[in-house]
Amino acid sequence: MKFYPYKRLNRPIALRVTSASLKLPDGSRDHLDTSAYSVPQRTVALGVAQHEDWVSARIGLSATLPPGANAPDAPWSDLRVLAVLTDGETNVRTAVELRQDAPGSKEWSGSIEVLRDDHVGRAALAATAVATVDDVPGREIAETDDDWTVDVAAEEPLGGLRLDVKQMSFSKSAREWLHVYSDAPWIVDTSGRLPTVFVNTDIEGFSDLLGGESGGIENKVHEMLVSQMGTDVWTAVFHSSVGDLEVEPDGSPVFPTDWQGEVLREMLPDVIPGIHAEEALRQVHRRRTGDAGWVELQTRIHYAAVRRAGASKALANALRGLRQMNRGDGA
């Protein structure tokens, strides 16, 4: 534990990657889609587009300072927020200053350039807030507590929600609360440190199908089952994350600092599109705790879950497999 001889913020900065693009040798820019970065895994995979000769990458960033950063009685001034990329292998360190989105806002945004020749593997991306405290400039008053990883070669960002999967007989489980769900193929439990999916082995052949090792059309069914399970998981964890938000004195909800906060930042752009995550969370909170709007929002929540679970891709693959099988039968 570090001790500081001056006042600091007692919560970490929330840092998010919002975009990624590659500059190619001819000067053009390839804007990567959201599959290039994973919020839950906090990883950017710059090899996703399979360009071996890219020159540099521009990574869009958004940082949210914890409550109290802009308080009128805060014991600091000249507040600045920096994004810092550090590569231990090549000993390269790049720092850029982010800009405040609006006067008094806790949201800061900007971008950082990653030069391909400066990196061979993975680099750590963090954010720090510095200010003048007790007449001493440049003192660090907050930082991220979990770095992002920027991988210049990886083709996927280790994507997917971090969760625990347990297979067991629901009817015979020592967890007696599962007995009532003995006819369900799976149940999502969001009460622990990580969300847990309990898979019911009472359903004959279900575990083997989820293993995806049968081959042929069974693999397509496996993919569809996994996407359906993923949709259920994303829906459940979103509702869990907004169900017990801490609220500031002015009524504004505070992003959780654990996996629930990551889930919200991942899904809110699809639930309430076109606005900053902080305002989107306020709108979701108002609808959930108010008199109207919560029921209408369920469609957007389900849409966000379906996208993250890759349901459309799984369905397309299954249909393609069925068509191929039918053509084979008719031959």
What is the model's pLDDT at position 15? 92
Q: What angle do CA 70, 7, 127 make, to 5 degrees?
A: 60
Q: How far is CA 182 from the centre of its chain?
A: 32
Q: 242 or 224: whose pLDDT is higher? A: 242
Structure tokens, 144 = 């991220």
- Report CA Rg, the chain: 23
Q: 78 or 154: whose pLDDT is higher? A: 78
Q: pLDDT tens digits for 229-273?
A: 888 988 999 999 998 888 888 888 988 877 788 788 878 888 998
- The overall average pLDDT reported for the chain is 85
Residue where the block lists tokens 């949201």: 107
Contact (CB, 8 A) for 162 and 41: yes
Task: Measure the CA–CA gap between 232 and 173, rounded to whole angstroms.
Answer: 22
- Assign residue 115 a region (left: φ > 0; alpha: ψ between -120 and 50; beta: otherwise): beta
Contact (CB, 8 A) for 230 and 308: yes
Q: What angle do CA 61, 65, 69 make, to 5 degrees?
A: 145
Nearest to residue 232, comparing CAs of 264, 185, 271?
185
Phi, psi of 5 (to 5 degrees): -85, 30
Nearest to residue 299, comparing CAs of 328, 274, 273, 265?
273
| pTM as predicted | 0.55
Structure tokens, 73 = 């009685």
Q: 331 or 183: whose pLDDT is higher? A: 183
**How many residues does the structure list for the chain?**
331
> Is the per-residue pLDDT at 159 higher than 50?
no
3-state secondary structure of 223: helix
What is the model's pLDDT at position 230? 84
Q: pLDDT tens digits for 78-134?
A: 999 999 999 887 889 999 999 999 888 889 999 999 999 998 778 899 999 999 999
Beta strands 148-151 and 43-45, pairing class: parallel
What is the model's pLDDT at position 151? 87
Contact (CB, 8 A) for 63 and 14: yes
Nearest to residue 209, comparing CAs of 196, 198, 223?
223
Per-residue pLDDT band for 35 (boundaries 50, 70, 90) equals confident
Neighbours of 153 (CB within 10 A): 12
Q: Rounded to 5, what percent of the chain is helix, strand, coil?
A: 30, 30, 35
Per-residue pLDDT band for 181 (boundaries 50, 70, 90) equals very high
